Amino acid sequence: MVNRSEYRDLFPGALEMMILQTLSRRPMHGYALAQHIKSVSDDLLQIEEGSLYPALQRMLKAGWLKSETGVSARKRPVRVYKLTPAGRRRLEQERLSFEKMFAGINRVLAVAES
């Protein structure tokens, strides 16, 4: 079924965390953001580029991002997304909980192997 997107999310919150992380370095516009996530993950994470947009809207609504007018690499005027202080706090929380979860999973895996 076409409408059932297999790429919708990697796991809950993963796409959001990657966007927050990427934007915490510098503000970017949509296309650049997509290219960045793709290249950094070495194409391991197959995401539909379009699926960034619903995520971006959710985060705008939550107040973690704000949008501004900027210029693209091709010197075109574009929407640039920028992290807000609330976004920064959110990133910290997400990262912490993710690390905790990751450590937990690691431990379980280690026990299972031995």
Partner 1 sequence: MGWMKHLFTRRRRYDELSEAMREHLEEKIEDLMDRGLSREQAERAARVDFGNVVAIHERSREVWEWHTVESLWADVKFAGRQMYKSPGFTLTCLLTLTLGIGANSAVFSAIEMILLHPLPYREPGRLVLVSESLPLMAGSSDVGVSAQEYLDYRQQNTVFDDVAAFETDEFNLTGTGQPQRVKAARISATALPLLGVTPKIGRNFTAEEDHHGSDHVVLLSRALWQSTYGADPAIVGKMIHLDETAYTVVGVMPASFRFPMDAAPPSERANLWLPIAFAPNLLKAENRTMEFGVGLIGRLKPGISTKQAHSDIDQIASIFMRRYGYSGTLHVSPHVYPYAAHGVEGARSLLILLAAAVLCVLLIASANVANLLVARATARTHEIALRLAVGAGRVRLIRQCLVESSLLGLLGSIGGIALAFLLVAGLRSFGPASLPRLQDVEVHPSVLLFAVGLSLITSVFFGFAPAWRLSRVPPEASLRTARQAGADRGSQRLQNSVAAAEIALTFVLLIAGGLLLRSFVRLLESPFGFNPKNAFVVRTVFDRVRYPDPVKRDVAQKEVLDRLSRLPGIDAVAEASHLPLSDTRQIGFRLEHAAEDDFKMAENSLVSWGYFRAMGISLLVGRDFNSADRRDSVPVAIINQALSRKYFAGQNPIGKHFDWGGRGLFTIVGLAADVHISSLDSDPPPMIYFDMFQIQSGVSGNTAFVLRGPRAGPELLPSIQQQVWTMDRELPLYQAATLQSLISESLAQRSFTLVLVGAFAATALLLAAVGIFGVISYLVTQRVREFGVRVALGANRSQIARLVLARGASIALVGCGCGLGVSLFGSRLVLTSLYQTNRFDPVLLFMVLGLLFSVVLLASWIPARTAAKVDPMRALRID
- Point out which residues bind partner 1 (CB under 8 A): 2-3, 5, 7, 29-31, 34, 48-51, 53-54, 56-58, 61, 67, 72, 74, 76, 78-79
Nearer to partner 1, 32 or 91 (CB): 32
Q: Which residues contact 34 (CB under 8 A, 6 or more apart)?
A: 47, 49, 52
List b or e across 41-64, with b for residues whose CB sees 16 or more CB atoms inside 10 angstroms.
Answer: eeeeeebeeeebeebbeebeeeeb
Minimal distance, residue 4 CB to partner 1, in Å: 10
Minimal distance, residue 52 CB to partner 1, in Å: 8
Nearer to partner 1, 18 or 56 (CB): 56
List b or e across 6-25, with b for residues whose CB sees 16 or more CB atoms inside 10 angstroms.
Answer: eeeeeeeeebbbbbbebbee
Nearer to partner 1, 52 or 91 (CB): 52
Minimal distance, residue 69 CB to partner 1, in Å: 10
Minimal distance, residue 93 CB to partner 1, in Å: 21
